[in-house]
A and B are shown apart, each in its own frame.
Chain A
Amino acid sequence: MGQSLMPAEEAAASAPARESAGVLAEAPAMAVPGGAAPTRESPGPLFRSTSRRRLQERLIGGLLFLCGAASIFTTLGIVAVLLTEAVGFFTEVSPIEFLTGTEWTPLFVPRHFGILPLLCGSLLVAGGAALVALPVGLASAIYLSEYAPDRVRRVLKPALEVLAGIPTVVYGYFALTFITPLLKQIWPQTDVFNAASASIVVGIMIIPMVSSLSEDAMSAVPRSLREGAYALGATRFEVATRTVVPAALSGILASFILALSRAIGETMIVTIAAGATPKLTLNPLESVQTMTAYIAQVSLGETPFGTLEYKTIFAVGLALFAITLLMNLVSLAILRRFREVYE
């Protein structure tokens, strides 16, 4: 990709030095030192190693390719692991029960394997997190991109990003020992473990994701659009909300989806603060269980390899992977397809 940046003539000029074809053409002369066709004077000791160097170049290229391909193997590994174990699970539990069942009680009899309660828990937490993070993150992005003086932005932006670097266990601690008591003061019926507390904190965690990515999108909107709007008499607020935000909408949407996918995949905060009671409820003050929290719960326990309980991890993990993968792909596609290219 680096080479693609150079102008065409320069690329052509430097090509013989880089492309193996060019090296090959020189090779016969180099390979036989002092042979019949040493057209160059004094092929010093440095030049003698050309053929070995060529081999070395090829080896290194192949090695680096393997590094690049490692990511493919990771993905294949994830898919293969999830699928093989999940197939084992689905030979014992029908996929229809899994996808439509409204009870999730795999660890005690009578066992039910309906994922809907877990899905409901995940969506409840992610929805709550979205209520916190999307407005706050977008407003922060607008402030940073449209209002903040350069000096202020250079301090505030990294400071806000610290939020994304706080370990999730620490967030979990904060949710359980600070936010939950706060909620209890307002609504005394709040459970010790509840979805609201977890979703507020997950929301706080993903604010920087929304604000950072949205700000990048807004900063990419060219000045000329803003100046055009100002010239028509728009106020700063109108420029921000009716020119810049619509122009950056694809980037903003992509950041929303990515942040939500992060919220659905978040594990420790919900394991610590949201509880371990899978149920179909929309009441955020109750204890729920998310897909991720269930996976963590099973692996914390003494579940033997190969049992049906053990396989549930993979079935739930597959569902989780599919959901987040879909969201990530949609977000990338939005970025690619709907990006307004200005120049």
Chain B
Amino acid sequence: MRGLEATPESAGGQPEAGRGSQFRPRLRVRRAIGAVFAALCFAATLFGLVVLVVLLVDVWRDGAGALSWDFLNGFPSRRASRAGIKPALVGSAWMLLLTTLFAFPLGVGAALWLEEYAPRTRLTRLIQLNIANLAGVPAVVYGILGLAVFVRTFALGRSIVAGALTLALLVLPVIVISAQEAIRAVPNSIRLGAYALGATRWQTIWHHVLPLALPGILTGTILALSRAIGEAAPLIMIGALAFVPFVPEGPLDSFTVIPIQIFNWISRPQASFHQLAAAASLVLLVLLLGLNAVAILLRNRYSKRY
């Protein structure tokens, strides 16, 4: 900002006085630099999007050919041409269901306590800080926790429940944080109105705060769950199988999920299996797209401004 050093005379448009001073506006140069910089920043923004498109096109080109009803409805096979992802699809569905069941009530409960009940003590701040930190713990570490606690200590084995509990812990901080934001957005006048009519704290929350915050909570939860559905690392840790030639029927069965099936196929050297990995990736992406669409729909449909 050379302009800052300008003396009043030079800026005042007296050329003969300005000549001798330090002031050189160089406006043309500065504007040129600005234009170049703006173009660079725009290019950087586009870079991310271009990569996204390239990635999607790449996966589509590799995998679309292998997509078929038999692929969706088939079992894994040593022969690429006959392999399918039915057990993985069912496994992922189980995982989604049970993870939601574990994580949603716990997460919303924690958010409610933090926003509506928690006294402003050191313990509350510690819990809040702790949740922020847990959100940054790598997924494999959750896998190690699941392996030691759920698989071994609770003796759940390498089962769907053990996997879902692990994923629930993984997504819990994300759910809590987004639910807190949604609850915080409910205006206080609504709580005061309920209290004025004699409602207890829980009645206020149950009948007024929660219904208003629910769309926001659901949006955050769905986004968190879509992360869980794409996760492979923690489930590899707890020992989800790579080759499951049966459809899991109960929560204590061993299982596989789509990301692990993809990983398994990528790890093989043959190109035909890579094609299957791409096809399974497409299925996974469509699934995530669906979940995200639901989340966006919820947000747009029910979001209210006060």
Contacts and interface: CB of A to CB of B under 8 A. Distances in A.
Contacts of A295: 140, 143-144, 237
Interface in B16-44: 25, 27, 30-31, 33-34, 37-38, 40-44
Contacts of A90: none
Contact of A332 (B129, B145, B239): B129
A264 B138 contact: yes
A4 B120 contact: yes
Interface string B106-141: 111110111111101000001101111110111111
B133 A328 contact: yes
A57 B205 CA distance: 11
A91 B236 CA distance: 27
Given A57-B201, A75-B133, A70 B115 contact: no
Contacts of A56: 202
A2 B115 contact: yes
B227 interface: yes
Nearest to A272: B266
Interface stretch (B47-55, B67-75, B78-86): B47-55
Contacts of A232: 1, 3-4
Given A173-B281, A233-B11, A325-B137, 6 more contacts: A143-B38, A165-B227, A167-B281, A170-B59, A177-B58, A267-B139
A10 interface: yes
Contacts of A136: 44, 47-48
A162 B235 CA distance: 23
A299 B239 contact: yes
Contact of B138 (A77, A172, A292): A292
B59 A173 contact: yes
A186 interface: no
A307 to B, nearest CB: 14
Contact of A70 (B55, B110, B288): B110
Contacts of A325: 133, 136-137
Given A233-B3, A295-B237, A167 B113 contact: no
11 contacts: A10-B192, A63-B109, A147-B38, A163-B48, A166-B285, A173-B278, A177-B278, A229-B1, A238-B30, A268-B263, A296-B236
Nearest to A321: B141
A42 interface: no
A334 interface: no
B62 A67 contact: no
B277 to A, nearest CB: 6
A204 interface: yes
Contacts, number: 311
Interface of B: 1, 3-4, 6, 11, 25, 27, 30-31, 33-34, 37-38, 40-45, 47-49, 51-52, 54-55, 58-59, 62, 105-110, 112-118, 120, 126-127, 129-134, 136-145, 147-149, 152, 169, 172-173, 176, 183-184, 186, 188, 191-192, 195-196, 198-202, 209, 223, 226-227, 229-233, 236-237, 239, 259, 262-263, 266-267, 274, 277-278, 281, 284-285, 288, 292
Most chain B beta carbons < 10 A, residue from A10, A234, A317: A317
Contacts of B58: 174, 177-178
Chain A interface mostly = helix
A233 B137 contact: no
Contacts of A320: 138, 140-141
Chain B interface mostly = helix
Contacts of A3: 116, 188, 191
Contacts of B237: 295-296, 299
Interface of A: 1-6, 10, 14, 17-18, 23, 53, 56-57, 60-61, 63-72, 74-75, 77-78, 81-82, 85, 135-137, 139-140, 142-144, 146-148, 156, 159-160, 162-163, 165-174, 176-178, 204, 207-208, 211, 229, 232-238, 240-242, 258, 261-262, 264-268, 271-272, 292, 295-296, 299-300, 305, 313-314, 317, 320-321, 324-325, 327-329, 332
Contacts of B288: 165, 167
Contacts of A328: 132-133, 136-137
Given A2-B115, A64-B112, A167 B284 contact: yes
A30 to B, nearest CB: 12
Contacts of A317: 140-141, 144
Contacts of B229: 167
